[in-house]
Chain A
């Protein structure tokens, strides 16, 4: 069964707007990661947040983690058409058996 579930399943926005995706998971984790997948391509790692961290930034990405609620969010600010992709959260303890969520499909219109 999936460890993480993203919400929403699909999101459409205009360029320049912010995109927020949420991830919920079920069991205790050591870290949570976000990946991006362009259509039919391999996944690319975006950011990792450890269980003792609450927020992390990388460029236009901001990730939060709330271990009490077993949830995380990914914010992409000032989105661009090139951000169009599927975004997945992944959880694991020591990353063995890293489990991916169902993904959010983001469409950014120029």
Chain B
């Protein structure tokens, strides 16, 4: 158990819909990272937050948005969903005092029909 909690574990929805994925980082971790893993794209970095502020941005679509709340949990919002958005979405957190290591949640599997 990494200490990072993601909900929901599985989500099935239709094209055009909007979903919210939630992540609770490890206790004390200020950084939260979001990654998308699909079969043909590998693990793609989406966005990182540090203590409520956006720190780094990757290949995140304009239809996607994220935020980190004062209690440090984070949400990834996916809207106008397309079939190609079907993927595993991972959240990871990190203790800024420890170089490098990310702790990953078990992911949210999104299926868009």
Interface residues of A (CB under 8 A from B): 2, 31, 33, 35, 40-45, 48, 50, 88, 90, 92, 95-103
A-B pairs with beta carbons under 8 Å apart, 21 shown: A33-B102, A40-B109, A42-B4, A42-B90, A42-B107, A43-B43, A43-B92, A44-B2, A48-B100, A90-B102, A95-B100, A95-B102, A96-B48, A96-B55, A96-B56, A97-B48, A98-B45, A100-B35, A100-B45, A102-B42, A103-B42
A41 to B57, CA, bound (A): 24
> Besides the contacts A41-B107, A43-B90, what 14 more A-B pairs have beta carbons closer than 8 Å?
A33-B102, A35-B104, A42-B105, A43-B104, A90-B102, A95-B94, A95-B102, A97-B56, A97-B58, A98-B45, A99-B45, A100-B35, A100-B42, A102-B42
Say how far A93's CB is from chain B's closest CB, in angstroms. 11
Main secondary structure of the interface of B (DSSP, over half): strand
**Distance in angstroms between the alpha carbons of A33 and B43 in the assembled complex:** 14
> A101: which of B42, B105, B107 is its contact (CB, 8 Å)?
B42
Q: Are B99 and A45 in contact (CB under 8 A)?
A: no
Point out the residues of chain A lying under 8 angstroms from B90, CB to CB.
42-43
A58 to B107 alpha-carbon distance, docked (Å): 27
- Distance in angstroms from B30 CB to nearest chain A CB is 12
Interface residues of B in 45-96 (CB under 8 A from A): 45, 48, 55-58, 88, 90, 92, 94
Question: In the complex the two chains form, is B45's CB within 8 Å of A31's CB?
Answer: no
> Which residue in chain B gives the minimum CB-CB distance to A95?
B100
